Structure 1
């Protein structure tokens, strides 16, 4: 059995793991990035301008620029929300994730392709065992720290971090199709979000353009839902049934950050493994990359000081910046996703210009907007009115 020595082994090469590996490598640490080849996470692919700017994403990775978001209610009502002063970028995870992994390698990280087996401890630190994809050989990596960025059903989290085996999640499924020419129900510059219990009883469906391709899918946390049939129904309803299917993908998406992201010793979680996907929207790429960044910073601090408690800084820093957004979005999901009547009212609320502006300002900048308190007050009053049934859902 071969053995190599590293400061940090990052398990999982998605946006969180690749970002963590790149950051640590740029700090001069010896880093291994272990990833399973061939897996592409089902994802709408939306990234806000702040991610593009903060993480220096080149134009070549942006396959579409979305200028409008369309909300579609259970009764088929459509609310188009223009994206003012910018756009939402779309990436293709097949190429975007590989770009991030390659960038980490260029920064100095050692890329390894294989399947994580377990962590063993003896001697001076943890040993990561994995099965090499090319040879089938079991290999051992000696390291000081491990960052688990291996998804919502993280093997690292389940084995090493308290509560890591109980994370709540929805199952997402999508089909990548050849995009048609623009027509009444499909606009290459518009994302459609479908709030309809016939497609998803507790989440939503989507049609997201990816340039020459498009992602069509849905998510649910309920057992017994036929995800493939729901997606087929969505394609029919969207006029996309005859488009060529390129690939099909499914995976869990976490709904709540874990209470602990580290084991108090030598393991730290990042991205989906830590549960950092935004409630209500399911947005995960930006938060995964921020999660990878703060995990790298906490790991670097731990390596410098020798204090295992420094690993807990990752969660503290992340939630200080984004915890309020997660709480608000979680409350929104709990309030509006429970029934078609609630979903109808939610789409009706989206007619409001204050809701539209504040929603997208918060999305683009990744923080709750506090500049217009009167608008927040108006939204709060309307929100209560819709939830209590004091007003009827607007029919358009």
Structure 2
């Protein structure tokens, strides 16, 4: 009998498994080997601090973010007093899984197939990768950390089958050798252009010897590969060798309920915790894994299934305001190229730049400069209402 079975071995599931194992619980995690999620790979310094990530996992340090508008307007935002770390998910996720094993979690390579219950408890079924046979594990609790279209969430948690998402696609390429106009190994480019993505954005993120080039959209019928090819051409990266191609859903909104009131709690993408507007997910996935582990440990200790609600409560207590602001920004500015043009124009403002990256670094809204917030609010309203004229280039 396990205390907890974690379904999923990405950043969220691996973090939950590690935390529970380190606190002395008998835990196993089921992971589908070989899956690499499409991801720009950006992580903030707070993640490095909170989750003790070694320098060896940081493949690049970004000191500038460039916003590019539909008309080609470019706004370079310096990252002051810090950096954005870049990781390669192929190696970063495996590092986290290995660390969970070292902490005492049992790693199982297979595919989750379902949950059954009887008089002896809860049983998690999975198809073993090595043999192809279906096996079961007895457990007291289950953490579903199996992605945006979570099978655990769909089967076990109300609303888990209706989570909205965008489809993200990217290509990992060899970084250009030598100097290439338009590409900087120390800069992330974010492209707000309806020709690339009608409702989200495209990106060019350096990964040291490699780079991630991709985009996301919720609009049916958009050819993601064609849009990414256009983005590579516009960035001068068409000739770079393609190493791998990946696509996957990215959730757009946290679920209203993360547990089934009995023996299952969700974490990470399965719970919908990806930041609106930016699509940032690694940090929030790992926090989601940590709060799910905390809730599971509380439930195991008290015997109260209601303690599983702690996962969502703890997460929202710290991050609800950030998600609310980012969601409002996405709804306001991602609706048309005219709005995207105004958004990039707004990014010229020094107050916007500073507060944006202070919030990114620390994962909290900055409250130290109320006058700056007031000025930003006024400027934001002026851009949205068209009171500010946007110069075309």
1:174 equivalent in structure 2: 170
2:304 equivalent in structure 1: 307
Does residue 248 of structure 2 align to residue 251 of structure 1? yes
1:374 equivalent in structure 2: 371
CA shift for structure 1 position 340: 0.1
Match of 2:86 among 90, 94, 118: 90
For residues 95-152 of structure 1, give each alpha carbon's deviation from its aligned partner in whole angstroms, at most 9, with x where no partner exists: 0000000000000000000000000000232100000000111100000000000000
Q: Using structure 1 for the length normalisation, give the TM-score.
A: 0.98
CA shift for structure 1 position 395: 4.2
CA shift for structure 1 position 392: 1.3
> 2: distance between equivalents of 1:209 and 1:253?
21
> 2: distance between equivalents of 1:184 and 1:239?
8
Q: Using structure 2 for the length normalisation, give the TM-score.
A: 0.99
2:184 equivalent in structure 1: 187
> 1: distance between equivalents of 2:121 and 2:256?
25
1:153 equivalent in structure 2: 149
2:107 equivalent in structure 1: 111
2:239 equivalent in structure 1: 242
Match of 1:361 among 351, 358, 382: 358
2:50 equivalent in structure 1: 54
1:12 equivalent in structure 2: 8
Give the 5 Å matches for 1:12-31. 12-31=8-27
> 2: distance between equivalents of 1:36 and 1:394?
50
> 1: distance between equivalents of 2:138 and 2:235?
51
For residues 7-40 of structure 1, give each alpha carbon's deviation from its aligned partner in whole angstroms, at most 9, with x where no partner exists: 1000000000000000000000000010000100
Give the 5 Å matches for 1:268-279. 268-279=265-276
1:386 equivalent in structure 2: 383
Aligned residue pairs total 392
1:316 equivalent in structure 2: 313
CA shift for structure 1 position 183: 2.1
Structure 1: gaps of 5 or more residues: none
1:136 equivalent in structure 2: 132
2:224 equivalent in structure 1: 227
Match of 2:213 among 202, 216, 237: 216
> 1: distance between equivalents of 2:278 and 2:20?
30
For residues 242-300 of structure 1, give each alpha carbon's deviation from its aligned partner in whole angstroms, at most 9, with x where no partner exists: 00000000000000000000000000000000000000000000000000000000000
Aligned partners of 2:116 and 2:124 also within 8 Å:
yes
> 1: distance between equivalents of 2:180 and 2:114?
51
Aligned partners of 2:180 and 2:236 also within 8 Å:
no
For residues 294-323 of structure 1, give each alpha carbon's deviation from its aligned partner in whole angstroms, at most 9, with x where no partner exists: 000000000000000000011001001000
RMSD: 0.6
Match of 1:34 among 23, 30, 34: 30
> 1: distance between equivalents of 2:172 and 2:238?
12
Match of 1:203 among 200, 204, 214: 200
SS of match in other structure, 2:351? helix
> 1: distance between equivalents of 2:117 and 2:137?
11
1:76 equivalent in structure 2: 72
CA shift for structure 1 position 393: 1.8
> 1: distance between equivalents of 2:116 and 2:314?
29
> 1: distance between equivalents of 2:136 and 2:390?
59
Match of 1:351 among 348, 351, 370: 348
Does residue 347 of structure 2 align to residue 326 of structure 1? no
